[in-house]
């Protein structure tokens, strides 16, 4: 039930902001500070989420196979690999490190 509450809130919230962008008059949110903040907010959230989903196990910090997978993804990004290849690199390397018995 809790999961459905979370899904419902996310559905309503995410649709509302999409629609708001199309409906509010141009210029209403065009203040430079608002635009800068809107551009930086996803940077902060994505960075924190990347770190947490790589190094967290519940509420403890751990270093396991996922770190190797993420490093592989970072290398793939530096080599300008397409999106799917970046994700595949992380998955394959994580699975490989686990299969070798580490992490």
Partner 1 sequence: MTDRTVLEDADIGAKTDRAVVRDALGVGVAVGLSGFAFGVTSAGGGLTLLQTCALSLLVFTGASQFALVGALAAGGSPFTAAAGAFFLGVRNAFYGLRLSQLLALPRAVRPFAAQWVIDETAAVALAQPTRRTARLGFVVTGLSLYVLWNLTTLLGALGAEAIGDTDAWGLDAAGPAVFLALLAPMLKTGTERAVAGLAVLLGLGLLPVLPAGVPVLLAALAAPAVLWADGRRRVGQGETR
Residues 36-55 that bind partner 1 (CB under 8 A): 36-55
One residue of 15, 63, 75, 79 binding partner 1 per CB under 8 A: 15
One residue of 63, 86, 101, 102 binding partner 1 per CB under 8 A: 86
Q: Does 75 sit near partner 1 (CB under 8 A)?
A: no
Who contacts 71 (Cβ-Cβ below 8 Å, separation ≥6)?
93
Q: Does 79 sit near partner 1 (CB under 8 A)?
A: no
**CB 32 to partner 1: min, Å:** 10
Query: How many CB atoms sit inside 10 A of residue 72's CB?
Result: 20
Q: Does 84 sit near partner 1 (CB under 8 A)?
A: yes
Of 54-73, which residues contact partner 1 (CB under 8 A)?
A: 54-56, 58-61, 65-66, 69-70, 73
- Number of chain residues interacting with partner 1 (CB under 8 A): 72
């Amino acid at each position: 039930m809790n999961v459905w509450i979370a899904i419902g809130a996310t559905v309503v919230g995410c649709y509302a902001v999409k629609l708001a962008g199309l409906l509010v008059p141009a210029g209403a949110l065009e203040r430079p500070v608002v635009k800068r903040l809107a551009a930086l907010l996803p940077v902060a959230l994505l960075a924190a989420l990347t770190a947490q989903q790589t190094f967290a196990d519940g509420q403890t910090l751990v270093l396991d196979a996922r770190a190797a997978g993420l490093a592989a993804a970072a290398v793939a990004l530096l080599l300008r690999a397409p999106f799917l290849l970046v994700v595949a690199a992380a998955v394959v390397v994580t699975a490989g490190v686990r299969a070798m018995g580490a992490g």
